[in-house]
A = this chain, B = another copy of it.
């Protein structure tokens, strides 16, 4: 069944409803509109919250009351996406991980380039800590640009000698905005979602006048020592496959506990299709085990 599921998903995605190189206002509105129509279970509760001006959406499952918090960062190459659009996947994580998900509406480029998103991410984490939530009860999670942002936040916390969360779960991280990964070329015909050209257009929106190889923009160039355990999941049909591999490589070389978990034949952030893609379901189950293991340990 799964081969059929993969083929069907690939065909659907190749219709490319969202041209990331197009007008951003229309693109953002259209993306959020589509995501709003993805069915979400009746027991999903959403509460809008605010961390000193940084908006976020708290997503939880009615009737559950866990002390665990997933601080979640959405994808969208830093120019589109929103906390609202994460509700389908974030609520799935809340249920599987037995946690409350706090999905951050960080500022987007080009209106607000680097380091705006990172400042907002840090404000959200500090907001959780100021509520008395212990770092060991927090995990970071993110997809695509949001996964890159999660690593950039970990590097920022390290520099500031702040407490680390228990672990981080990174789905298809966008971790090299110099676009130097070999999969950018090698997986060109296999990735149903992205093209190098579109990525290239949007890189400058976020980077602006900063250096693309700044580790807070492209964490594969960072010193990752001291980071908490990382789970990196990626599909093999991705332009960003090499980002995931090199992030795990860097972490391994820097003595970080890291698991790189590659699922063949699936696209970018395939976990978002877990409802009808067996590989997505299985990957999220593995992620739930990983997070639970590290939640139960003392914080770093």
Binary interface encoding of chain A residues 239-262 relative to chain B, with 1 for a CB under 8 A from any of its CBs, else 0: 001000100110111011111111
User: Which residue of B has the minimal Cβ distance to A260?
Assistant: B260
- With the chains together, A257 CA to B236 CA distance in Å? 9
- Interface assignment of A183: CB less than 8 Å from any CB of chain B: yes
> How many A residues have CB within 8 A of the partner chain?
24
What distance in Å separates the Cβ of A189 from its nearest Cβ neighbour in chain B? 13
A256 touches B264 (CB 8 A): yes
B259 touches A259 (CB 8 A): yes
- Interface assignment of A234: CB less than 8 Å from any CB of chain B: yes
Residues of B within 8 A of A252 (CB): 234, 236, 241, 245, 260, 262
Please report whether the interface of chain A is mostly helix, strand, loop or mixed according to DSSP.
mixed
B262 touches A236 (CB 8 A): no
- Interface assignment of A299: CB less than 8 Å from any CB of chain B: no
- Interface assignment of A186: CB less than 8 Å from any CB of chain B: yes
- Interface assignment of A263: CB less than 8 Å from any CB of chain B: yes
User: Which residue of B has the minimal Cβ distance to A237?
Assistant: B255
Residues of B within 8 A of A236 (CB): 252-253, 255-256
- With the chains together, A234 CA to B183 CA distance in Å? 24
- With the chains together, A131 CA to B260 CA distance in Å? 36
Residues of B within 8 A of A253 (CB): 182-183, 186, 236, 241
Query: 17 interchain pairs (CB within 8 A)?
Result: A182-B253, A183-B253, A186-B253, A236-B252, A236-B253, A245-B248, A245-B249, A248-B262, A251-B262, A252-B260, A255-B265, A256-B262, A257-B263, A258-B260, A258-B262, A259-B259, A289-B289
